[in-house]
Structures are given as structure tokens and as C-alpha cells.
């Protein structure tokens, strides 16, 4: 991805991508106005929401005067005419949703140009009251992001595996650490790709399809002939090698360089005596251009490229671009597409767990988010990371690849890391044609090489890409760690021990462990009532496995409780291609500890709700409290869940613990933990912790020692502004602990 470069977004007439162009209705007559919808009434009712949204949009890049609208399915041309007329809008485009996406996408999609006097914020707010609308979004600007562009051309070299390609083979050149690469040369002993294999789409700035290292690996549209006609009837003339969403043409030539560089890493032709080599010596690269020569483009055009690549059968997509605004319609399009999407994590140095970047942060099963590492096994200084949101790292610093015009250049960024993973995903899909998205993703994530802990702990897998491990033909699962048992137990922690097995049964070193725990029995597959599926239990991170027969140990920290509890720990051994051992489960009885206050929240107790706060069922937790039990929280929410008085008299070093899960609009809405007590000269409510963004269940720990010796109250407060609603907050298991004075 390239650092954001502001661009004035272009406008274009309606177009189609995947299927035949949908006609734009003629200007409507007055009789087409809907009798069930009044824009005037909707604007009046949503004025406060629109004002709030306008403030946010003023800080966000988007196309002025345009909205994307997802409508209820089944709209006719006349229905669309009526809908557009109700807003005084012009229909710029009706998207044709390809057949493979229809059911999952679940609606019609249009792009509207709003009339003078109706702002984007006003339209989106008003559409929230329109029963025909499922979702409305601004047409956001997206960017490719390169951290360190090197624009001077390098000479064409005769050796395909040039020493500059350290990401493929690192022997210590340029001061790097030997072996810190993606093991491409080993992987090529298994596969070098296929020109009859899966189609990989580069959704980017286009691709130089005439480049000497790419021209033989470019996809050719089997339904199109370069004769100036739309032979395949999809509304695009001469889309021989892909689609150009910037000008709605069939020529996706790269006028920036970013997309060609990405394509070179994925599939520069191998063993041709020219320039460089990509992960795939042979491939079918489809070019889908929505980023202009400046490296910027619109969400409307990005969606069109997703639809086009789906209609034309892309199996894998490369997405080295991003924006920092959540766009539900783009998320829906990517989620409905059958392809596996490889996404750059971003170049701002963010923790994506806290400050998300999209599309990498969409919680979709068909997305892999990729950070960048250098040739010394370090996360790049610019790379975004996230213990719960970024899957793995790949080479992304000083990456040498193709440049338009038959040249080559060196670039850095997570944009350069993502295509390494895309290349490996394409090799897997080529070698194992029946592999599902889950199969490919599991191979890639299970086969990582561990990074040093200071970097690995910032990634879901803890590691970096290994093409050879991901590609290996291995159907033998590891043996189960059948002797898993507790070795030491206290109220706050449990020590577990077991004997390491192997990669294939008990032979060879396994590649990883999956250890989870719960207060409910953990099972593989669908759980019965009172049980919990393995994938829904809490995760415990572990080091890499030791040699077979070695003794493994781990200490698990537990949240405090004054109750005697039974915990279930479940362990699976994983090999490098994602084969998993049978599940081993052990039960551990954990003794209670002294606590000041405890509410398990499994029934109404010492917490008083206001507003919509209510108890709801939660898998593996019985009941939990949430601020929005019926769906997303409302605009202008300010509601609390408040305890009765809790005495901290006679206690010191007090601490509060509570389990929290949240989906809250970052930087605008917030869930706070507040304490009512005395500090300095005043007694009042004060915030002691605040969360927003998206996070699964975790135990939040708060220091209450400033309130030692007092009588206090605790409340959980959900507060939102007047626009953009999310799922809200969930809380469970409130405990306060301390040490007795004296």
C-alpha cells in the first residue's frame, strides 16, 4: 500500500462489471414519486443525526455529493427510478451482482449523485428511515500505500533470482539474516504454478501486461476478442486482460507502477532469462484497476472490481490498498465474493486491534491480513500489526519487482508483503485444486516460521510466511498429546504439562499448538447444550513445540473469583499444513480466593440497568449484560449498568476485574468503566477505563487503589453520538479484589 495521497475523485457514467450493463432509467415523471416516503419528513426527523455524521465526514476522504446504497433485493428499473426521484438524485450506476455473490450479498446496489442542497450526511441519515434501504454509505476514497518508493529504474538482469530478491532467498546479502525469507526455492520443488491454474486478480493501479516478465502470465478473457466489440456481453469492450474501473474500459494498463510491482512479486515469469522471478513462475494474472495514476480511487470503483473479478472467476485476489473508515457495503461485497482476499495491513505503524484499517480489518473468513517484515526478522518500522487482527508477516522492506515499461524498482510497504502471501495462496490453489478458502488459509497460517517474541506477539500466528511449509503434501496429522494434565493449581493460575508428539504422528517436530479453555466442557464439532465448541473457547498463546518426547509446560493466568470453579483445557497439535491432532481435554478444579465483591451476571443481582441494558444468552457464558440486546445501539445513547454500594473499608491495593466484548465506533462512541467515590476534594463519578473499536472477550483489569477504604459504586456506561451505530458492549463476571489492611 502507498501512503495516502489526496486525489480529486473523478466522476464517470454508469457502467457494469461482471454481467451485462444494467440500463439507467430515464428521468422520472412526478407520478413515479413514492407515496410511502417523504424526504422532507425524513430530513426533519434525522437532522441531529445528519449534523453528527457531517462532522465525521468532514474529516474523511469521500466523493462529495455521492452515496452508495444497498437496497432490498428485487428492485425493478421502475422501482429504481422511483427511489432516485424520491431523493432528487441521479442514478449513476446500478451494479450487476454476479451469480456466485447474489445470495450472500442479499440486495441490490446503486451509486447515486445527490442534488444540490442535499448533503451526503443528510441523505445517509434520511435513508436510515427508508424501508427500501438496507445500508447507505459515502463513496470513500481508498489508497495504495508505499512506504519508501525508489523511482530510479534498475537495469534488466539476466539472472531471474537476483540477489535483491531477498524475500525469496536470503543468504545474508545486503546485511540480512540468512534464512529470513519465505523459502520460495524449497517451495518450487513442489510447484512453480500453472498457466491453466486458478486466476489471481490484482485489484490495484492496473498491471503492465506487456512487461517482459509478466506478459506470458497475464490472464486472457476467453470470451473476448480484441475487435472493438463487447463479445462476452458484460458491458465492457475488449476487456482482454481485465477491467479498468477508473474510466470504465477494458484496458487495465498501469499508469502508476504499484500494481505492476505487486504482480511481479506474485507471478513474474520464471526461468525465462529476464529480470526477476515471482512466487509463481507460471500463472494467470487478471488486472482490475480502480486506483488512478495518483494511487487513489473510490470505493464505488473498488466494488466494481470485486464484482468483475468474481464474474470472471478469480480464485485469489491481491488487495494492497486501504482506508481507515469502515464501509459496510464494501465489506458485504468482499464477504459475498467466493475468492480468498489477501490484504495489506497498512503502513501507519498502527495497532490494528485499536485503530483498524480496511479491508484488512473486516471480520471475514475469506480475508488474510498481512504485515511487513525486513531481512533481519523484524517487523518493519512502518508496518501495522495486531495480536488479534493481523494474521502474519511477509517480506515487505526493499522489495525488488517489476515496473511499467519493462523496468524494475525497489519499494517498501505492506503492499509488497501481501503479494508474497497472494503468490503462495495461488501456488496452493494450483497444486491442490480442490482446496477451499479455509484450506488455503489454514495452510498459510499453520505453516509460519516463528518471529522473535517482541514481534511475533503482535501477530495472530506469531510468525512469517513459509511457502514450503504451506505447500507440502502432508495428510498425516500429529498424534494427540494424550497426557495433558495440571501440575500446579492456585486460585489465579493453573500450570499444565504434556509430552510433545510430532508432525506426523510422533515423528518430526510439530509446527504449533492450539490451547483453549472454558468453564464449559469443550468439544470438537457442534456442541450439545452445556458444552462449548473448541473454536469458541478462550485462546492461550504458546511457544513453538519442542522435539517429540520433550516435556512441555505452560502457566495459564485466570481471572479471580470467590467461587470454586472447574475449568476445561483443550489442546490440539498442529502441523505445517494445518493437519490437527485429535482433541485432548483435561478438567481442573480451581479453589476460590477472598474477594470484596463478585457478580457472575448469570441472573439479575446487584447491578441496576437503565435504558436498554439487559441480560442475554452468550455461548459458553450463560447470561451476560449488554447495552443493546435488540441489535445495534441507538443514536444518542447514554445508559449505564450500576452497582449498589460496595464497601472497600479495611482493604488496600484494590483492583476491579470484568470480562468485556465490544464493537463500538472508534473515537466517537465509548464504553467506560466508572467509579463513584472521593478523590481530592470532590465525590463524583470518574472514568477509570474506556474501550472502543472491535474486540472479542478479554478480562479488563483496573486499579482501584485510589478508592481504598471508601464506599464506592461501579457503573458500566455506554455513550454514543448521533450517527453510525454498532453492536455495542457486553460485560460478564465483575470481581473486585484487595488485600486486608493490618
SS3 340: strand
Q: Active site includes 143? A: no
Identify the bridge partners of residue 105 per DSSP, sorted by sequence position. Answer: none
Active-site choice (62, 211, 258, 391): 258
Backbone angles phi, psi at 637, to 5 degrees: -70, 140
**C-alpha to C-alpha distance for 515 and 509, rounded to whole angstroms:** 17
Q: Within a 10 A sphere around the Cβ of 348, how many other Cβ atoms?
A: 20
Which residues fall within 8 angstroms of residue 663, CB to CB, at 6 or more apart?
A: 693, 694, 726, 727, 728
Helices (H), 432-532: 437-446, 453-456, 467-471
Q: Active site includes 415? A: yes
Distance of CA 625 to the CA centre of its chain: 27
Measured between its terminal Cα atoms, the distance across the chain in Å is 59
DSSP 139-187: EEEEEE--SS-EEEEEPP-S-SS-TT-TTT--SSGGGPPTT-S--HHHH
Closest Cα partner for 340 from 310, 383, 304? 310
Active-site choice (108, 147, 162, 204): 204
* Packing angle of the helix pair 47-57, 120-127 (nearest 10 deg): 130
* Packing angle of the helix pair 258-267, 414-431 (nearest 10 deg): 40
Between CA 442 and CA 588, with CA 479 as vertex, the angle to 5 degrees is: 95
Q: Active site includes 258? A: yes
Q: Is the dihedral of CA 502, 503, 508, 509 positive or negative?
A: negative
Active-site choice (320, 401, 415, 518): 415
DSSP 365-430: TTEEEEEEE-TTS-B-TT--B-TTT--EEEE-SSEEEEETTTEEEEE-SHHHHHHHHHHHHHHHHH
Give the residue numbers marked as catalytic. Answer: 204, 258, 415
Amino acid at each position: 500500500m502507498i501512503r495516502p495521497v489526496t486525489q480529486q475523485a473523478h466522476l464517470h457514467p454508469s457502467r457494469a462489471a461482471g454481467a451485462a450493463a444494467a440500463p439507467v432509467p430515464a428521468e422520472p415523471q412526478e407520478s413515479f414519486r413514492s407515496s410511502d416516503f417523504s424526504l422532507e419528513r425524513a430530513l426533519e426527523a434525522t437532522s441531529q443525526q445528519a449534523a453528527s455524521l457531517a462532522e465525521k465526514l468532514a474529516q474523511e476522504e469521500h466523493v462529495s455529493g455521492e452515496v452508495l446504497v444497498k437496497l432490498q433485493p428485487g428492485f425493478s428499473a421502475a422501482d429504481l427510478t422511483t427511489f432516485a426521484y424520491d431523493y432528487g438524485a441521479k442514478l449513476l450506476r446500478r451494479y450487476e451482482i454476479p451469480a456466485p455473490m447474489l445470495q450472500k450479498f442479499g440486495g441490490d446496489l446503486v451509486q447515486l449523485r445527490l442534488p444540490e442542497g442535499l448533503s451526503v450526511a443528510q441523505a445517509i441519515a434520511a435513508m436510515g428511515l427508508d424501508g427500501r434501504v438496507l445500508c447507505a454509505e459515502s463513496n470513500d476514497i481508498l489508497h495504495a500505500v508505499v512506504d519508501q518508493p525508489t523511482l530510479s529504474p534498475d537495469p534488466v538482469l539476466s539472472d531471474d533470482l537476483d540477489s535483491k530478491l531477498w524475500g525469496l532467498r536470503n543468504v545474508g546479502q545486503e546485511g540480512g539474516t540468512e534464512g529470513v525469507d519465505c523459502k520460495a526455492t524449497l517451495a518450487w520443488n513442489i510447484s512453480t504454478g500453472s498457466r491453466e491454474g486458478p486466476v489471481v486478480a490484482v485489484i490495484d493501479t492496473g498491471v503492465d501486461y506487456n512487461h517482459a516478465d509478466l506478459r506470458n502470465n497475464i490472464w486472457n478473457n476467453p470470451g473476448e476478442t480484441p475487435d472493438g466489440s463487447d463479445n462476452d456481453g458484460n458491458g465492457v469492450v475488449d476487456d482482454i486482460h481485465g477491467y479498468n474501473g477508473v474510466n470504465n474500459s477494458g484496458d487495465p494498463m498501469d499508469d502508476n507502477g504499484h500494481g505492476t510491482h505487486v504482480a511481479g512479486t506474485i507471478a513474474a515469469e520464471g526461468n525465462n532469462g529476464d529480470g526477476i522471478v515471482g512466487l509463481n513462475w507460471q500463472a494467470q494474472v487478471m488486472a482490475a484497476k480502480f486506483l488512478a495514476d495518483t494511487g487513489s480511487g473510490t470505493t464505488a470503483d473498488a466494488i466494481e472490481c470485486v464484482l468483475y473479478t468474481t464474474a470472471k472467476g478469480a480464485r485469489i485476489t491481491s488487495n494492497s490498498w486501504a482506508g481507515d473508515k469502515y464501509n459496510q457495503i464494501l465489506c458485504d461485497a468482499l464477504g459475498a465474493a467466493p475468492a480468498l482476499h489477501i490484504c495489506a495491513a497498512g503502513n501507519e505503524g498502527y495497532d490494528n486491534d485499536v485503530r483498524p484499517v480496511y479491508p484488512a480489518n473486516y471480520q471475514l473468513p475469506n480475508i488474510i491480513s498481512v504485515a511487513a517484515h525486513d531481512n533481519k526478522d523484524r517487523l518493519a518500522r512502518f508496518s501495522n500489526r495486531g495480536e488479534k487482527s493481523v494474521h502474519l508477516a511477509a517480506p515487505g522492506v526493499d522489495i525488488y519487482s517489476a515496473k511499467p515499461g519493462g523496468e524494475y524498482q525497489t519499494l517498501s510497504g505492506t503492499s509488497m508483503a501481501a503479494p508474497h502471501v497472494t503468490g503462495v495462496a495461488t501456488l496452493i490453489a494450483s497444486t491442490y485444486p480442490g482446496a477451499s478458502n479455509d484450506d488455503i488459509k489454514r495452510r498459510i497460517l499453520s505453516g509460519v516460521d516463528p518471529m522473535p517474541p517482541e514481534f511475533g506477539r503482535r501477530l495472530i500466528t506469531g510468525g512469517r510466511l513459509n511457502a514450503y511449509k504451506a505447500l507440502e503434501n502432508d495428510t498425516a496429522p500429529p498424534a494427540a498429546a494424550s497426557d495433558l494434565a495440571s501440575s500446579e493449581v492456585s486460585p489465579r493460575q493453573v500450570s499444565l504439562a504434556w509430552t510433545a508428539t510430532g508432525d506426523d504422528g510422533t515423528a518430526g517436530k510439530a509446527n504449533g499448538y492450539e490451547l483453549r479453555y472454558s468453564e464449559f466442557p469443550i468439544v470438537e464439532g457442534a456442541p450439545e447444550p452445556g458444552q462449548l465448541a473448541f473454536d469458541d473457547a478462550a485462546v492461550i498463546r504458546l511457544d513453538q513445540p519442542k522435539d517429540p518426547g520433550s516435556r512441555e509446560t505452560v502457566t495459564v493466568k485466570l481471572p479471580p473469583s470467590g467461587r470454586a470453579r472447574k475449568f476445561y483445557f483443550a489442546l490440539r497439535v498442529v502441523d505445517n499444513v494445518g493437519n490437527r491432532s485429535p482433541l485432548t481435554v483435561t478438567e481442573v478444579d480451581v479453589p476460590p480466593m477472598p474477594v470484596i465483591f463478585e457478580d457472575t451476571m448469570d441472573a439479575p443481582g446487584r447491578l441496576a440497568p437503565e435504558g436498554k441494558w439487559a441480560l442475554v444468552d452468550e455461548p459458553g457464558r450463560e447470561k451476560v449484560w449488554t447495552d443493546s440486546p435488540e441489535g445495534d445501539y441507538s443514536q444518542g445513547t447514554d445508559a449505564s449498568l450500576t452497582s449498589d454500594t460496595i464497601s472497600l473499608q479495611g482493604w488496600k491495593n484494590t483492583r476491579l476485574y470484568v470480562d468485556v466484548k465490544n464493537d463500538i465506533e472508534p473515537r466517537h462512541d465509548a464504553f467506560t468503566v466508572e467509579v463513584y467515590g472521593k478523590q481530592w476534594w470532590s465525590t463524583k463519578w470518574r472514568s477509570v477505563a474506556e474501550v472502543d473499536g472491535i474486540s472479542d472477550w478479554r478480562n479488563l483489569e483496573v486499579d482501584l487503589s485510589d478508592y481504598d477504604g471508601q464506599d464506592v459504586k461501579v457503573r458500566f456506561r455506554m455513550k454514543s453520538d448521533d450517527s453510525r451505530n454498532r453492536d455495542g458492549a457486553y460485560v460478564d463476571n465483575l470481581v473486585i479484589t484487595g488485600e486486608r489492611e493490618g
